[in-house]
Structure 1
């Protein structure tokens, strides 16, 4: 592991990321931690599948490392994503949901290597790999602090993740557009009274005291899509 990456390396694109780190992912011995805003950052081309396959990896029937995944609420935006995360938990991974969107996305392997995801660009997303102990330790400490305040996946799904039906999402989008109640009701083909009743129901579902707060809450939970 020590010779796998020379101090700090910057690469661009998901293909190069997978090529440079595939052998590292298969050599995890103690701990694999991952922080991501959603399930897309580490997904292409096949990276998510490779990482997921190793989440419950065993050798001769014994689990060889611990997996911790920290995600923002946006990762729970659809049932397919929720099912994927439940499967990881069933395989032995620990999954928690942060109380707000994560500002940084990273992977740390055995507290020796950190992979930081940068911005997406014309040549693909940029990633920084480092084995510098102080940098890896700092990244790990930030992850651990966020992990400590996050909620375990199943508990989050039970108590903190509102489910909006198609009508609720439609009203949420209308609120986000800034349209007046009259215009929104007309565009949605409902009476003004019905529209306002749906808005009140939406505020209750999102545990919000105002329409503005409802928009913030929906954004935190990844329900604006």
Structure 2
């Protein structure tokens, strides 16, 4: 587990530990024990591939368990990442924001424990485990304010990032045509329930809250076809 470098610091609720060895597994072991929520803010990541891979797995697990997950990233970090896991996390319910504001790498679990760590290129790498209540409140407040000031993930994606199925694209086009749900479902040869489910999934994928916003965002990303979708046979 975590190798403390300052054993006396435990009494203050702040422990420094080494990023060498298995610190990735240690951090994600903490994350897996989240009971209600996790806030993950990454501005300058480490070079560890295990850190990224484990992070994706743990976030998947938390979302599957119904936990609230907020993810905050810097634009630079976003450039380094495969967008497909991000889109999957968004579709599963993770709340993802991107901000240009300066912030530290931090993980906060249930507002009871936090981990701060340095990123790649740090002259003096550090990682701190924090349990001190006053500092935890300050870290959580700062992380939440940074998250709220950010922008949705969709604003940082392009057409290549937003992979939608042919069916979802056809649904987009019926929305663009202004068809009522019943007519659109008949046009596409699907049930009304399936049609509305596709619309709900598109809202999640494009990070919007209304059908009008779906159309605006789809147009921005070039996801709408000029050629009308053929009418399904009765």
Where on the TM-score scale, by shorter chain, does this alignment land: which range?
0.5 to 0.7
Match for residue 74 of structure 1?
A: 76
Note the aligned Cα RMSD (angstroms). 3.0
- 1:8 is aligned to 2:14: yes
In structure 2, runs of 5+ residues without a counterpart are 1-8, 160-234
CA distance in 2, matches of 1:58, 1:117: 21
CA distance in 2, matches of 1:90, 1:24: 24
Match for residue 24 of structure 2?
A: 18
The list of structure 1 runs, each at least 4 consecutive aligned residues, that deviate by more than 6 angstroms after superposition, is none
Q: Secondary structure at the match of 1:125?
A: coil
Q: Which has the higher contact order (CA 8 A, sep 6+)?
A: 1
8 Å Cα contact 1:37/1:101 also seen in 2: no
- 1:97 is aligned to 2:98: yes
Match for residue 35 of structure 1?
A: 41
Q: Secondary structure at the match of 2:82?
A: helix
- Cα distance, 1:17 vs. partner? 2.1
8 Å Cα contact 1:56/1:93 also seen in 2: no
8 Å Cα contact 1:117/1:126 also seen in 2: yes
- 1:86 is aligned to 2:87: yes
Q: Secondary structure at the match of 1:144?
A: helix
Match for residue 145 of structure 1?
A: 145
* CA displacement, residues 3-25 of structure 1 (integer Å, 9 cap, x when unaligned): xx941110122534224334312
The verdict on how the C-alpha distance between 1:12 and 1:90 changes in structure 2, with shifts beyond 3 A counting, is same
Aligned positions of 1:126-165 closer than 5 A:
126-157=126-157
8 Å Cα contact 1:75/1:81 also seen in 2: no
Aligned positions of 1:167-206 closer than 5 A:
none
8 Å Cα contact 1:33/1:109 also seen in 2: yes
- Cα distance, 1:45 vs. partner? 5.3
Q: Secondary structure at the match of 2:84?
A: helix
* CA displacement, residues 138-197 of structure 1 (integer Å, 9 cap, x when unaligned): 0010011111111110134369xxxxxxxxxxxxxxxxxxxxxxxxxxxxxxxxxxxxxx
CA distance in 2, matches of 1:46, 1:112: 25
CA distance in 1, matches of 2:79, 2:144: 24
Q: Secondary structure at the match of 1:47?
A: helix
CA distance in 1, matches of 2:83, 2:28: 25
8 Å Cα contact 1:118/1:128 also seen in 2: no
Q: Secondary structure at the match of 2:157?
A: helix
The verdict on how the C-alpha distance between 1:22 and 1:72 changes in structure 2, with shifts beyond 3 A counting, is closer
8 Å Cα contact 1:107/1:115 also seen in 2: yes
- Cα distance, 1:47 vs. partner? 2.2
* CA displacement, residues 106-155 of structure 1 (integer Å, 9 cap, x when unaligned): 11011111111136557x83101110011111001001111111111013
- 1:46 is aligned to 2:50: yes
In structure 1, runs of 5+ residues without a counterpart are 160-225
8 Å Cα contact 1:10/1:129 also seen in 2: yes
